[in-house]
């Protein structure tokens, strides 16, 4: 079985963060097409300091955005230091560069810092960076896999007010999005899962994968220019319960738990047709519904 789980960015010991969002024009939502690769990774067009758009990996599991070093040099971004980015399986020291603005489809966040590294997202194709939660936290975000689009709106706007569906509590700590889930295979106790658009399997951190797991096999897990060999047990989860929502028969990858993890695993956003993330509202709606207008828009 071929598995591709990547090194997820965790909370960082750094002050690098974007300034508060500059509200999109006319105080309205903006929508952009996304590209999905063979692993359901989301690629979006990102402009730096008003540049032309470049392909970036959209990563809700990464607390800080990252730009390819060569692109940072091309755009003449000032280097302001370096810091260590810490992941589930490894860590890497990276340069920190200053940016005046970062934009996606006209939604703009101004004045802050990004990490800079060679090959920042080896899990997918030839992208020039990773767009993380330091950008996304400024908006309500609708990821729509069925229509291959992303919608960004000022916090608690029309989307958050009109979306119907169960509001699952969202814990936002250090730019990390945590929701609660239950799985009978692990005793049915609540588990904290990181909502991750750059994971392509339900991934659990367990010292003991619990009865029913397959034989342990070697996988590749990585991001940036590093690849980390790891072993994982593969198992089927009969029902992944998220509030009143249940996903039957889900494949899970179990990795040995690192010391002091801040979550019990990763849950891919691609498990759902669409997902609404309200950072300021503190909730997530899985497969939300919206009222239709005459034009079919929200």
Tokens for 225, please give them: 């220019």
> Could you tell me the pLDDT band of residue 210, with boundaries at 50, 70 and 90?
low
Domains recognised in the chain with CATH numbers: 4-166 (2.40.70.10), 171-285 (2.40.70.10)
Tokens for 263, please give them: 């979550």
Cβ contact 9:62 at 8 Å:
yes
Stretch 263-291: mean pLDDT, rounded? Answer: 95
Q: Is 152 exposed, middle or buried (0-12, 13-18, 19+ CB in 10 A)?
A: buried
User: What pLDDT sits at residue 26?
Assistant: 43
Indicate the length of the chain as a whole number.
Answer: 298
3-state class (DSSP) for residue 225: coil
pLDDT at 193 over 70: yes
DSSP string spanning 101-139? EEEETTEEEEEEEEEEESSSBTTSSS-SEEE-HHHHTTS
> What is the DSSP-derived secondary structure letter of residue 19?
P
Distance CA 232, CA 214 (A): 9
Cβ contact 222:91 at 8 Å:
no
User: What pLDDT sits at residue 170?
Assistant: 97
């Amino acid at each position: 079985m071929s598995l591709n789980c990547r090194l997820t960015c965790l909370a960082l010991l750094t002050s690098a963060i974007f300034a508060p969002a500059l509200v999109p024009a006319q105080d309205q939502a903006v929508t952009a097409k996304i590209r999905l690769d063979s692993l359901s990774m989301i690629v979006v067009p990102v402009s730096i300091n008003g540049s032309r758009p470049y392909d970036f990996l959209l990563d809700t599991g990464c607390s800080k955005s990252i730009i390819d070093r060569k692109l940072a040099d091309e755009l003449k971004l000032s280097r302001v230091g370096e810091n260590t980015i810490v992941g589930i399986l490894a860590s890497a020291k990276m340069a920190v560069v200053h940016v005046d603005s970062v934009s996606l489809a006209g939604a703009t966040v101004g004045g802050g810092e990004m990490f800079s590294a060679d090959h920042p997202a080896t899990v997918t194709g030839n992208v020039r960076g990773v767009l993380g939660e330091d950008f996304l936290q400024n908006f309500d975000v609708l990821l729509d896999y069925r229509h291959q689009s992303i919608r960004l709106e000022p916090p608690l706007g029309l989307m958050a007010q009109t979306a119907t569906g169960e509001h699952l509590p969202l814990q936002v700590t250090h730019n990390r999005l945590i929701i609660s889930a239950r799985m009978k295979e692990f005793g049915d106790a609540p588990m904290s899962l990181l909502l991750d658009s750059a994971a392509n399997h339900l991934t659990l951190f367990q010292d003991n994968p619990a009865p029913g797991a397959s034989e342990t096999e070697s996988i590749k897990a990585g991001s940036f220019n590093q690849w980390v060999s790891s072993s994982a047990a593969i198992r089927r989860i009969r029902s992944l319960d998220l509030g009143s929502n249940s996903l039957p028969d889900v494949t899970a990858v179990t990795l040995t738990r690192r010391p002091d993890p801040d979550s019990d695993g990763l849950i891919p956003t691609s498990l759902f047709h669409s997902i609404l993330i309200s950072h300021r509202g503190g909730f997530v709606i899985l497969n939300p519904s919206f009222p239709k207008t005459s034009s079919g828009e929200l």
